[in-house]
Structure 1
Amino acid sequence: MCRGLTIAPTNCLERAKELKTRLNILLQKSDVITDLKNSTKAEKVEKPRSPCEDTTQWTEPLESVLSCKKGFAAFQNFLRLEFSEENIEFWLACENFRKSKSSGKLEKKAWMIYEEFIKNDAAKEVNLDHETKEITRKNLQQVTHTCFDLAQKKIYNLMESDSYSRFLKSALFQELLAKHCGGNDTSGRGSCQKSQT
């Protein structure tokens, strides 16, 4: 790569960043294809385990999808296809962080989340405004289970208002809905007979 990053020309650093992004995209595409193949195989074997597996219920709030294993996987695959899976990964990291029981590891986990998702130029930087980033950074001076609450809420709202509505209109969701409804409804509105579960 470039020698002496501190004295390297700006275009060299920009080129290196662009190459890193392209490489990540290529790696993610292969992961998405593998995940989609694996989830298709799993769908043939697995039967719905709970009412939340009913795809017609996914047209309700985003929470209904995130609380369901199959729904979560479908939404995550959709975000990967849109190259915005960092949002759901951040949301999940915050959920896991909040449930952490070891207070000794809490600070280390908090800084790992900050470095991976919030810091400027982070590997999986989420779309947060400067004020939210600054509040979150200040929260890390005294780490608690709630230090990411504001940032997590903003990302949840972003997913709910933007990505989730596109997910409900996507071919991926329409296929899942058609499978569940036996091809009777592809509107994404959940009007097919629920008795077919």
Structure 2
Amino acid sequence: MKKEQIPMYKKSMEIVLFLFPQLNFSAPKEEAYFKMLSPGDIQVLRKKDNKTRVKEKEKKTRLSLLLTKSGSHENVNPESKNPTKSITPAAALKWRESFEEMLDHKDGLETFTTFLKTEFSEENIEFWLDCEEYKKIKSPTELVSKAKKMYAVYIDTEAPKEINIDFSTKTAIKQNILKPTHSCFEAAQSKVYSLMKKDCYPRFLKSDMYFNLTKTLPPPSMSRRRSRSCVFNDRSEAETELGIWL
């Protein structure tokens, strides 16, 4: 190896050994290489290493979510398997009366869950239902087990079905499950219920899935209005259109 190539070779080895210390079988040599690096080089290498670790963590998180939710989302189609085939328009129309009315109806709950799956947000209704079951548990041992499982699935930062709640609520739950009671998840359940009622439920009522059940057309407010910039053929047509906008 030529002499002028030696510095470049050492530089390459320094980077490789710094990023992949497991490849170095001689600790003293690694320390020598590390000492040869300038403060600027060390800072650059650390930034690259941190970015690599962040990317790897993001990949693992996405993979975990994909594996967990793939069963729920694979080939999701509102009309596939026709889960709403037996629902009559009259029954579906009652769900418009209130969110509570829909959840109390078995078919309403199932249809709403199917709708949430199309939006990749079924963790909300699943968490709410699990909370309802949790409050019915009588065995203290089972209560502890269920609390820990729900925290791991819905609350933890890397939970596969993490629900959208604030940090303070998460922290309170983490403390409460150390000595779990039936009210451990009440605050989170209330927030998720409010989210579904105010956000998901109105979208469901405007969805094609719901209109297909009720055999109704979308409300006039959803229809596309004619542009003001349209060209009129004659004065009478212009006056007619002007009357619509006034």
- Are positions 1:28 and 2:72 aligned together? yes
Match of 2:178 in 1: 141
In structure 1, the partner of 2:81 is 37
| CA RMSD between the two structures | 2.7
Aligned to 1:64: 101
Q: Does 1:116 align with 2:153?
A: yes
The one-letter code matched in structure 2 to 1:164 is Y
The structure with the larger Rg is 2
Q: Which residue matches 2:217?
A: 186
- Aligned pair in 2 of structure 1 residues 100, 162: CA closer, same or farther (>3 Å)? same
Q: Which runs of 4+ in 1 moved over 6 A?
A: none
Structure 1 distance, partners of 2:176, 2:64, is: 31
- What displacement does 1:38 show? 5.1
Give the Cα–Cα distance (whole angstroms) in 1 for the partners of residues 75 and 135 of structure 2: 28
Question: Contact (CA 8 Å) 2:78, 2:115: kept in 1 or not?
Answer: no
Question: Conserved in 2, the CA contact under 8 Å of 1:65 and 1:72?
Answer: yes
Q: Which runs of 5+ in 1 are unaligned?
A: 179-184, 189-197
Question: Which moves more between the two structures, 56-65 or 126-135?
Answer: 56-65
- Opposite residue 136 of structure 2, the aligned amino acid is K
**Equivalent pair of 2:77/2:118 in contact (CA under 8 Å):** no
Percent identity of the aligned residues?
A: 37
Q: Of 90, 107, 115, which aligns to 2:144?
A: 107
1:126 corresponds to 2:160? no
Pair 64,102 (structure 1): closer, same or farther in 2 beyond 3 Å: same
**Can you list the C-alpha shifts for 1:87-110, whole angstroms capped at 9, x where unaligned?**
000000000101112232111101
Measure, in 1, the Cα distance between the counterparts of 2:152 and 2:206. 33
> In structure 2, which of residues 212, 218, 241 is the aligned counterpart of residue 175 of structure 1?
212
Structure 2 gaps, min length 5: 1-19, 23-49, 220-246
TM-score with structure 2 length normalisation? Answer: 0.61
> 1:194 is matched with which residue?
none
Higher RCO structure, 1 or 2 (CA under 8 Å, sep 6+): 1
Query: Structure 1 pair 119/20, CA: closer, same or farther in 2 (3 Å)?
Result: closer
State the distance in 1 between where 2:91 and 2:202 align. Answer: 18
Q: Structure 1 pair 72/20, CA: closer, same or farther in 2 (3 Å)?
A: same
Is residue 152 from structure 1 mapped to residue 183 from structure 2 by the alignment?
A: no
One-letter code aligned to 2:195: L
Q: Offset of 1:58 from its aligned partner?
A: 0.8
Whether the aligned pair in 2 keeps the contact of 1:117 and 1:126 (CA below 8 Å) is yes
**Alignment-derived partner of residue 15 in structure 2:** none
**Cα separation, partners in 2 of 1:78 and 1:116, compared to 1, 3 Å:** same
Report how many residues are paired: 170
